[in-house]
Structures are given as structure tokens and as C-alpha cells.
Structure 1
């Protein structure tokens, strides 16, 4: 629930019903969160909506897929991923608040590299 309260913009965050919510990570999905009881929250209501549209890889440190793809092509990706790993290990990330999934973004880098 903390992720939702930080992600959903005012005034929509005032009417969130307490429930178990699930995040839809697919860019084409217009619904950000859906609940067991049937409630939904559209992606347009999220603070991170623009980052989602830009294919964010890391919400804490503002790294998107295009930036990382260019870094991979130019063989500059390791320092970027290393920076994120180092900051995460130091507890300087805020994934639960900044990432709409509430999950750590480190897996996004590996998944992106494997695609």
C-alpha cells in the first residue's frame, strides 16, 4: 500500500480503497493497478506515468531503456549498472516509493540485457 499512496497523484490518492493491488508492468496496459475487489487505478494517475512511457529501467536514478541501450552499444553499460548496484547496496534507493511495481529495479537491467 505505501507504493500506491506515493505513486498515485493527488486527489486520486485520497480515495484508494485498502485491498491487495497488483501492478501491470506492460507499457500498453492502461491500468496501473488492479485489486482483488475489482478496483483499478489508471496509469495516467501515477506520478511516474511519463517514466513508464519512456520505458524506465530504474526509477530511483532516472535511467530509461533508451539510455541504457545506447550505453550497451557503446560498451559503457557496466559503470551504469555498477552505480545502481552500489547505491542499492548502500540503501540509497527508494524502490518501494519510486518504482510503481514497488520492486527493486536491478532485475530490470538483467532482463533488458537478455532481450
Structure 2
């Protein structure tokens, strides 16, 4: 799917042009690492992009004049996918299914500790692996906490 250009109407550019959900700013390195070649060829590298977290919206990144949807991203996006095979921890390959199984087996905190140890050792690359452009550990913890409470 080709990147969809969104023509600005003067509205606040912090909000997804499709759903109106507030997006989180992402660094350009994230888009450069995760956009498909076709989408990357259309990227305005001077634009400021945000990540749309709304699971009901297929927009992943948006700026004042451009949007990129799930088909424009090289990897499945946790917030946009219902698949249990979708990564939750993009750096170390932990899928939604694996995190759920760990939580159900009462080893969710052990998994969190393993990821934390990798982060402390400087092995994390979330800015180029995670479509959110930020640390995946919060997503892992949220899934574990939701299942153990």
C-alpha cells in the first residue's frame, strides 16, 4: 500500500489524522529502519512524525503531510495486530504468545528480568527495532500485569 498523504487543515499535528488519537513523537531513525523500501522512498526526512497507538487504526506513523500505514512497515506492529505471533519485545524476539505463556506459568517477572538485564548490558535497539521507537519492556510488563491481576 502506498503512503497516504494527509493534507493539513491547520489542526494540531500531534493527533492521528484518521482517529484523532494523540500520537507519541518518534525519531527519524525509527522510520528509516522500519519503513518498506517503497515507503522510505517517499519519506520527508525533515518532517516530525508520531506513532498512532490506536489498535483500531491502521496508521502507524503520521506527520503534518504524510501517513504510513501497517502495509508500509517491515514488521508487524504490536498495537495494530491481533496475532499471538506479533513481537512484543522486538530486540530479543519475545512474541505476544510467549509473554502470555510466561505470565500464565508465573514466570513473567523472570522474562522481564531477562529483558532488563539485556537493556542494562547495552544490547537494546528499540529505537530501530520497535515501531514505537521506544523501549519494549513497558509493553511486556503491561501484558504480564494484565494477566496476573
Q: TM-score, normalised by structure 1?
A: 0.87
How many equivalent pairs are there? 114
**RMSD over aligned Cα atoms:** 1.8
Segments ≥4 residues shifted beyond 6 Å: none
Deviation at 1:8, TM superposition (A): 0.1
Q: Give, in whole Å, the separation in 2 of the partners of 1:44 and 1:103.
A: 21
Q: TM-score, normalised by structure 2?
A: 0.69
Q: Which runs of 5+ in 2 are unaligned?
A: 1-27
| Partner SS state of residue 37, structure 2 | coil
Matches within 5 A, 1:1-115: 1-17=28-44, 18-35=46-63, 37-49=64-76, 53=81, 54=83, 55-115=86-146
Bigger Rg over Cα: 2
Q: Which has the higher contact order (CA 8 A, sep 6+)?
A: 1
